[in-house]
Amino acid sequence: MNKTIPNASKTILDNGLRLICEEIPAVRSVCLGILIGTGSGNEEKSESGLSHFIEHMSFRGTSKRSAYDIAHALDTVGGKINAFTSKEVTVFYCVVLDQHVPIAIDILSDILLNSLYDEKFLTLEKQVVLEEIKMYEDTPNEQVHDFFDEKILRGHPIGRPTIGLAKTVSSFKRSNILEFQKKWYQPNNAIVSIAGATSPDIIKQLSQAFGRWQGQTSLPPLQLPEIKGSLNLRQKKTEQVHLCLGVKGVSQVDGERYTYAVLDNILGGSMSSHLFQEIREKRGLAYSIYSTSSPFRNFGVAYVYAGTSKDNMAQVVDLILSEFRRLKKNGITAAELERAKEFIKGTLVLGLESTSSRMSWLAKSEFYHNRVTTVDDIFAKVDKVTQEDILHIADKFFRDEYLTLAVIGDMKKLPIKSLSCN
């Protein structure tokens, strides 16, 4: 039986806040989330990490609840509360059983509207985040992704790490939080998303909780980065060399986004992909090797990650570039095209089986597209992709002018002098 997934309704309150709701009768849980349309990509250089720090401080207490009260209220009903910050959004969310939705609404609205950001907790939470930064710096396989973004985006705020820098985090004051919130945390820049076993009066409950939130913000125009290729090394004592090699990519709203998704899947998006087979299975040069893309609101980047030995790094880079050339010249077979399409469709649907993933989909769909994108919408776009489309997009993005290599490892200089996929 075919049905629309997700099948959601949209309500806009008088204050400009968007409510996106999907009832899923077959489940007993509900996930409620609040998306704020700001992340590390909206920060000034001196504010690096402030969005993430605000996320942390929001759990430190409100005018009604202490930090313990917030945690205890959800623990008591078997629910969970969490948040995450990305380059473009900050999301707070709760997952509870259907009968405990009023508790989730009360706590999330309290955190959003009544957080104190008490001075006495600032120093303590800075210590927590500084330890998180140290942990991040001890994981070069994560750090190299931000290093790649930093170099290919050449100073654009999205190229800075979401977690921030020790120097900037140490400098934050309560006034910085309040000023940032005044600029970005306004109802016309937020989305409340809820999915699961909701009650018929859920819109009324949400309106009562969030309708009193007042304020407006004028969103600044989006910046476009200057994307140019480069070779980059960050020396660090590691057992492996960690590298990202990539190019300019598609944005969230690019008409060719799903064409690139098909290409990406064939390149390195699965265990049967070209790179996984050539570099890991046939040659044993890497344990972890994959391709991925980062589509942002008005631009994107795409890259291959690999962890390999210092001695094998140059060969791995050469093999990646060879795959770029191969795709530009030969494209993909009809069989590969069909397999990639089915892979994308399958993983998409399987990834929407939980209420939390459904909540996130609704919120991000509204944020990027101003509407709820359905599975059928995506399927239709994926099914339209042709072999000729793949050749076109490979030629469009796999260009020498965009090729950027970011490497973290125990070496004094790169064994590679230049990059080419022509």
pLDDT by residue (tens digit) across 88-128?
999 999 999 999 999 999 999 999 999 999 999 999 999 99
Which range among 98-107, 158-167, 192-201, 215-224 shows the weakest confidence by mean pLDDT?
215-224
Give 157-193 as a DSSP string.
GGGS-TT--HHHHHH--HHHHHHHHHHH-SGGGEEEE
**Domains and their CATH numbers in the chain:** 9-210 (3.30.830.10), 230-409 (3.30.830.10)
The model's confidence at residue 219, banded by pLDDT at 50, 70 and 90, is confident
What are 176-205's pLDDT values in tens digits? 999 999 999 999 999 999 999 999 999 999
The model's confidence at residue 1, banded by pLDDT at 50, 70 and 90, is very low
The model's confidence at residue 221, banded by pLDDT at 50, 70 and 90, is confident
Burial class (CB in 10 A: 0-12, 13-18, 19+), 282: exposed
Bond prior to 415 in cis (omega within 30° of 0): no
Q: What is the mean pLDDT of residues 332-346?
A: 97
Give the per-residue pLDDT at 8: 95
CA dihedral of 403, 234, 141, 285, whole degrees rounded to 10: 70
What contacts 407, CB < 8 A, 6 or more positions away? Answer: 144, 232, 233, 234, 241, 242, 243, 313, 414
The model's confidence at residue 2, banded by pLDDT at 50, 70 and 90, is low
Contact 70, 81 (CB under 8 A): yes
| Whole-number CA gyration radius for the chain | 23
Instruction: Write the secondary structure of 270-315 as one string of H (helix), E (strand) and C (coil).
Output: CCCCHHHHHHHHCCCCCCCEEEEEEECCCCEEEEEEEEECHHHHHH
**Share of residues in the chain with pLDDT > 70 (%):** 100
Q: What is the mean pLDDT of residues 138-165?
A: 97
Contact 19, 95 (CB under 8 A): no
Give the per-residue pLDDT at 256: 97
Alpha-carbon span 84 to 52, nearest angstrom: 8
Q: What is the mean pLDDT of residues 322-344?
A: 97
**Share of residues in the chain with pLDDT > 90 (%):** 97
Mean pLDDT for the chain overall? 96
Contact 278, 327 (CB under 8 A): no
Q: Which residues are catalytic?
A: 55
3-state secondary structure of 74: helix
Whether residue 253 is predicted with pLDDT greater than 70 in this model: the reply is: yes
Give the per-residue pLDDT at 200: 93
CA 164 to chain centre: 16
Contact 88, 39 (CB under 8 A): yes
